[in-house]
């Protein structure tokens, strides 16, 4: 199989040869807007050489956060190393995919290209001597298609890790996993999650840019395969009232160029290095600033409430799953920190960028991590949380926008273009939401008032 992630030596000549040898008909040239939605330009295979040589010009004025009408011309340049042939289970016609870097007509890289933002942060880590690896846990729901009926009905009522007649999605997960393998993404677990119709598929960790590519590909493949099973796959953080929502717990680590895990120190009581503690301290200090990027929708904050295994309080722990940051038990090269508030509705390129920025700032400023909290934080009283110095994540998108708008760290990381556009888009979303009169309000207040 052709893999984006294992065949980095692919170049223009080898890609053109594989297109000919495999009788590929169409090429999807893909890039991502600031909200994390994949965009693509489909070209016939005979136009690929021109695209690789010169790029493909396009009008970016209708793409979220890209450009105004006055400055809409952009150029998508395919990256040969990202070439994959999509399996027949995903594309009926022989189709390949290439990820694109976005340029201005003058040849400069476009500042609104979210992959470029992550590339710059990864380069910063490299200058400090580190490779930044991420491994997300991607959760999603499968719902039955109900035609014109807007009621959402989960595909099944199975529970966590169920192996029974109630788990009706085993075949769907298998088909998704096989399709991922066909494009070079190696899943290592797939199972039913806690809520009705909720699933999780995990793949092996990699450098942050490769991982962000994989998240986008997984979401695309999952939706296509679900449709073929007459189901709708949703990465909405909290689609069902009273049940757990879908997160994207992200495992992070820094490796040195000799292949050593920079977070591991066998002499420490927690077997964590000073770099690990400083990275954790940076995440804890700036997590409120990052929330609008990691949890970018109105619905995201309906997941981040006590009682549903989602973090709401800012702390870290070794095994305590009520903490925002957890340190899984594996050590050596498996040493990592798990940030538990991101959800899969985020833009993974921007999410990894700001997470890395916060961690590196902790290292640069030699921040000290507070003591771990190994208690069930949800069971603590407000006075007890104050005693431990535990603060709370933003409780709404509006709150998160207000915090991020004052953040020098996030502005510096995203750049003025994406920072200002993201705030503009999110404020518009928040204003639209808060002006709604919901069914719950009508049913609750109309009879009483």
Report yes or no: 112 and 67 within 8 Å, Cβ to Cβ: yes
Catalytic annotation, pick one of 156, 175, 213, 338: 338
Where residue 8 falls among pLDDT bands split at 50, 70, 90?
low
- How many Å is the Cα radius of gyration of the chain? 22
Is 338 annotated in the active site?
yes
Is 139 annotated in the active site?
yes
Is 441 annotated in the active site?
no
Residue 91 burial by Cβ neighbours in a 10 Å radius (0-12, 13-18, 19+): middle
Catalytic annotation, pick one of 192, 340, 361, 385: 340
Is 420 annotated in the active site?
no
- Residue 210, token pair as written in the block: 């490769």
| Residue 136 pLDDT exceeds 50 | yes
Q: How confident is the model at residue 2, as a pLDDT?
A: 34
Catalytic annotation, pick one of 175, 196, 200, 289: 200
| Residue 6 pLDDT exceeds 50 | no
| Dihedral sign (CA 61, 209, 94, 168) | negative
Across the strands, what pairs with 59?
73
Is 429 annotated in the active site?
no
Q: How confident is the model at residue 7, as a pLDDT?
A: 45
Is 408 annotated in the active site?
no
| Residue 4 pLDDT exceeds 50 | no
Q: Which whole-number Å values give the CA distances from 185 to 28, 160, 215, 246, 259, in the listed order?
A: 18, 24, 10, 21, 22
Catalytic annotation, pick one of 33, 101, 175, 193: 193
Q: What is the pLDDT of residues 54-73, one digit of tens each?
A: 999 988 888 887 866 556 88
Is 193 annotated in the active site?
yes
Catalytic annotation, pick one of 13, 54, 59, 364: 59
Question: Which is nearest to 189 in space by CA: 212, 160, 165?
Answer: 160
Catalytic annotation, pick one of 249, 251, 336, 361: 249
Report yes or no: 359 and 124 within 8 Å, Cβ to Cβ: no
Q: Which whole-number Å values give the CA distances from 343 to 100, 106, 221, 226, 348, in the listed order?
A: 25, 36, 18, 20, 9
Spatial separation of the C-alpha atoms in residues 185 and 5, rounded to whole Å:
8
Report yes or no: 346 and 299 within 8 Å, Cβ to Cβ: no
Is 149 annotated in the active site?
no
Is 137 annotated in the active site?
yes
Catalytic annotation, pick one of 33, 101, 113, 137: 137
| Residue 5 pLDDT exceeds 80 | no
**Range with the poorest average pLDDT among 60-69, 72-81, 120-129, 333-342:** 60-69
List of domains in the chain: 12-110 (3.10.20.70), 119-440 (3.30.590.10)
Catalytic annotation, pick one of 319, 321, 424, 434: 321
- Residue 378, token pair as written in the block: 């949800």
The pTM score is 0.93
**Range with the poorest average pLDDT among 25-34, 373-382, 395-404:** 373-382
Spatial separation of the C-alpha atoms in residues 236 and 216, rounded to whole Å:
14
Q: What is the pLDDT of residues 213-241, one digit of tens each?
A: 999 999 999 999 999 999 999 999 999 99
């Amino acid at each position: 199989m052709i893999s984006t992630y294992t065949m980095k030596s692919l170049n223009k000549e080898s890609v053109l040869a594989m297109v000919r040898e495999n009788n590929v008909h169409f090429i999807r040239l893909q890039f991502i807007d600031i909200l994390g939605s994949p965009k693509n330009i489909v070209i016939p295979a005979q136009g690929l050489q021109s695209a690789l040589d010169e790029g493909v010009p396009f009008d970016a004025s209708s793409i979220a956060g890209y450009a105004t009408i006055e400055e809409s011309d952009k150029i998508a340049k395919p990256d040969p190393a990202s070439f994959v042939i999509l399996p027949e289970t995903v594309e009926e016609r022989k189709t390949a995919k290439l990820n694109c870097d976005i340029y201005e007509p003058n040849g400069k890289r476009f500042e609104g290209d979210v992959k470029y933002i992550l590339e710059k942060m990864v380069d910063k880590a490299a200058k400090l001597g580190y490779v930044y690896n991420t491994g997300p846990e991607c959760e999603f729901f499968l719902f039955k298609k109900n035609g014109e009926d807007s009621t959402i009905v989960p595909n099944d009522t199975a529970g966590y890790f169920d192996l029974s007649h109630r788990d009706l999605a085993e075949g769907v997960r298998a088909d998704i996993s096989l399709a991922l393998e066909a494009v070079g993404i190696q899943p290592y677990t797939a199972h039913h999650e806690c809520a009705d119709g909720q699933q999780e598929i995990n793949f092996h960790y990699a450098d942050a840019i490769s991982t962000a590519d994989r998240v986008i590909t997984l979401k695309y493949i999952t939706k296509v395969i679900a449709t073929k099973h007459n189901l709708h796959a949703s990465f909405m953080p909290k689609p069902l009232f009273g049940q757990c929502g879908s997160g994207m717990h992200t495992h992070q680590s820094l490796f040195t160029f000799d292949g050593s895990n920079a977070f591991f120190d066998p002499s420490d009581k927690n077997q964590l290095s000073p770099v690990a503690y400083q990275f954790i301290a940076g995440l804890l200090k700036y997590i409120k600033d990052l929330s609008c990027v990691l949890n970018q929708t109105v619905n995201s904050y309906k997941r981040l409430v006590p009682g549903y295994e989602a973090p709401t309080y800012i702390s870290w722990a070794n095994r305590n799953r009520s903490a925002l940051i957890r340190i899984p038990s594996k050590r050596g090269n498996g040493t990592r920190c798990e940030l538990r508030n991101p959800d899969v509705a985020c833009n993974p390129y921007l999410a990894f960028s700001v997470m890395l920025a916060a961690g590196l700032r902790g290292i640069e400023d030699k921040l000290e991590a507070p003591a771990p909290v190994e208690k069930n934080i949800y069971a603590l009283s407000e006075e007890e949380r104050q005693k431990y110095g535990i603060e709370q994540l933003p409780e709404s998108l509006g709150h998160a926008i207000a915090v991020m708008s004052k953040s020098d760290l996030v502005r510096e990381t995203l750049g003025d273009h994406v920072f200002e556009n993201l705030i503009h888009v999110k404020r518009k979303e928040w204003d639209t939401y808060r002006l709604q009169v919901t069914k719950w309000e009508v049913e609750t207040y109309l009879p009483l008032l």
